Homo-oligomer: A and B are copies of this chain.
Amino acid sequence: MTAEKILLAHGSGGKLTQQLIENIIYPIFKHNDGHDLLDAALMCIGSSRVALTTDSFVISPIFFPGGDIGKLAACGTINDLAVSGAKPLALTVGLIVEEGFPLQDFKKILVSLKATAEAAGVSVVTGDTKVVEKGNADKIYINTTGIGTVDDGINLNPKNITPGDLIVVSGPVGDHGMAIISQREGIAFQSPIISDCAALNGLTEGVLASGGILCMRDPTRGGVATTLLELAEQSQMMFEIKEDNIPVRPAVTAGCDMLGLDPLYLANEGKLVLIIKPHKEREVLTALSSHPLGKGCEIIGQVTAEDKKGRVLLENSLGVKRLVSKLEGPMLPRIC
């Protein structure tokens, strides 16, 4: 252990991230009362159920097609609250800025963060700014922590997933990841790829009202593949998905072919993965597609009672099935 070091892959959202959390972080912070350390924590304050979540954003580049680190910092935390079933109320903003960072960019990013939060009905209530010497940060890093309230009766938990449940995505996958990669690599597509960065709380509110939602996630770092693997593990079910049913924009497919990437592992910042009760299929899909951010929704697969618990099986267009594997390396550092 002495000589072990933190690797870039520990931050990729894949296998090493999971190991770091499970073997190092979780044992330290695990509560004596046996509660899990969740991505969004739920607590009771007075008679209210309150959700709390935190995320630091270190994306590079800080300005990208479809957004910037300020917009992303607002959306990312709002979305973590939204998928936990909470109504986001307020954000805190913690800034770490590199000495020499242009004040104009600083302002642009904060204006963007504030506008995004405001449009989503969320207040920025307090903040903190630290400056580090040139070379000790890359431009700007932003932490946002969000608080929201969870209505009585909402209980989204992968433990409730059972065989026959449907697996849904709210729209084309991989846009954010490919937008960032193509900007980094200087690849130009005929139609430029725009990050899907968006606040999902309006969408989740409508979808929750439709009933039948067992679980929601926003498939960010590690993409839809990583999210499905986590849900399959947590529910101890097997997930079967069909490649042909997974919506991917042609430009994202083209970019993936060119770079040898798989869109299932690309980050999304404005998409939902939902596990729903099959008898509520119509209500959920109607709720999704009646919202601008859910128009491209698709059922991509089903939960089964097969023996491979905690695994995800992908069937390609030829009918060949293979197990989806965990992300091994540092696929894309600083994607969010």
A residues apposed to B, CB below 8 Å: 1-12, 17, 20-21, 24-25, 28-29, 31, 37-41, 43, 45-48, 50, 52-58, 89-90, 92-104, 106-107, 110-111, 114, 123-133, 135-138, 141, 143, 145, 147, 149, 333-334
Nearest neighbor of A137 in chain B, beta-carbon distance: B137
> Shortest Cβ distance from A116 into chain B, in angstroms?
12
- Known contacts A98-B6, A110-B25, A132-B138; decide if A43 and B125 are in contact (CB<8 Å): yes
Residues in chain B near residue A137, CB distance under 8 A:
136-137, 141
Inter-chain CA distance A55–B127, complex, in Å, is: 7
Cβ-neighbour of A46 out of B11, B24, B48, B98 (below 8 A): B48
Interface centre among A40, A43, A52, A53 (most CB of B within 10 A): A52
Nearest neighbor of A149 in chain B, beta-carbon distance: B45
Q: Are B131 and A37 in contact (CB under 8 A)?
A: no
- Top-4 shortest CB links A-B: A11-B131, A41-B125, A145-B145, A54-B92
Q: Are B131 and A7 in contact (CB under 8 A)?
A: yes
- Known contacts A54-B145, A132-B333; decide if A45 and B45 are in contact (CB<8 Å): yes
> Shortest Cβ distance from A105 into chain B, in angstroms?
9
> Shortest Cβ distance from A21 into chain B, in angstroms?
7
Q: Are B111 and A28 in contact (CB under 8 A)?
A: yes
Q: Are A129 and B5 in contact (CB under 8 A)?
A: no
Nearest neighbor of A104 in chain B, beta-carbon distance: B2
Number of copies: 2
Q: Are B45 and A50 in contact (CB under 8 A)?
A: yes
Residues in chain B near residue A47, CB distance under 8 A:
46-47
> Shortest Cβ distance from A181 into chain B, in angstroms?
16
Residues in chain B near residue A124, CB distance under 8 A:
29, 37
Inter-chain CA distance A131–B96, complex, in Å, is: 14
> Shortest Cβ distance from A5 into chain B, in angstroms?
5
Q: Are A125 and B6 in contact (CB under 8 A)?
A: no
Residues in chain B near residue A125, CB distance under 8 A:
37, 41, 43, 52
Q: Are A103 and B6 in contact (CB under 8 A)?
A: yes
Cβ-neighbour of A28 out of B40, B99, B102, B107 (below 8 A): B107
> Shortest Cβ distance from A59 into chain B, in angstroms?
10
Residues in chain B near residue A93, CB distance under 8 A:
29, 54
Nearest neighbor of A118 in chain B, beta-carbon distance: B32
Q: Are A129 and B7 in contact (CB under 8 A)?
A: no
